[in-house]
Amino acid sequence: MYSILKPCRTTAAFEAVPRERLSLDLDRCEEILGPVCTIVANAGVLLVVKDRCEVSLHRDGRLVLKTDSEELAREQAGRIANWLEGTPAVKSNRRQGPAAGYRPM
C-alpha cells in the first residue's frame, strides 16, 4: 500500500509516501492508534507511535519508519494503513491532487 524509500543517505529509516495527497488529523490518529500502539509523543504537527518499530506520522500522510529493515518498514506501514484508512482521521486533499490512498509498494 506504500511506496517505501530511504529518506536520505545517512539515515537508518524508511519513508512511506501516500499514493495521493492526504491530510491526517493527528489527534484523531492518536485516538485510533492509542489502543493498538504506544503513543510516544503528539507534537501537533507530528505524531510518534511505537508498534513493531517507531513511526512518525506527518500531517501530509507521510510516515517515517525507524528501522533499517525494509521488510519491517513495509509491514509496519501496512499495519498503520489498515488501522487508519477509512476513518475520519484520514482526509483526501482532492483539490490539491488525486484521491486518497497510498502508493502501491
Partner 1 sequence: MKLVSLISGGIDSPVAAYLMARRGVELVAVHMDNRPFTDEKNLEKAAKLVKRLEEVTGHPIRSYVVAHGPNHVAFARNCRRNLHCLFCRRMMYRIAERIAREEGADGILTGENLGQVASQTLQNLEVVNQAVKVPVVRPLIGFDKVEIIGVARRIGTYEISTLPGLCCTIVPEKPSTAARLGDVVSEEGKVPIDALVEESLEGMHVLDPQAV
- Choose between 10 and 104: whose C-beta lies nearer to partner 1: 10
Q: Does 12 bind partner 1 (CB under 8 A)?
A: yes
Of the candidate spans 9-17, 28-36, 78-86, 87-95, the one that interacts with partner 1 by CB under 8 A turns out to be 9-17
Q: Does 27 bind partner 1 (CB under 8 A)?
A: no
Q: Does 10 bind partner 1 (CB under 8 A)?
A: yes
**Residue 31: how many CB atoms within 10 A of its CB?**
14
Select from 42, 20, 10 the least CA-distant residue to 102. 20
Phi, psi of 72 (to 5 degrees): -65, -40
- Choose between 43 and 104: whose C-beta lies nearer to partner 1: 43
CA quadruple 96, 46, 90, 74: dihedral positive or negative?
Answer: positive
Of the candidate spans 16-24, 40-48, 75-83, 91-99, the one that interacts with partner 1 by CB under 8 A turns out to be 40-48
Binding-site member from 5, 40, 99, 105 for partner 1 (CB under 8 A): 40
**Cβ-contact 96, 21 below 8 angstroms:** yes
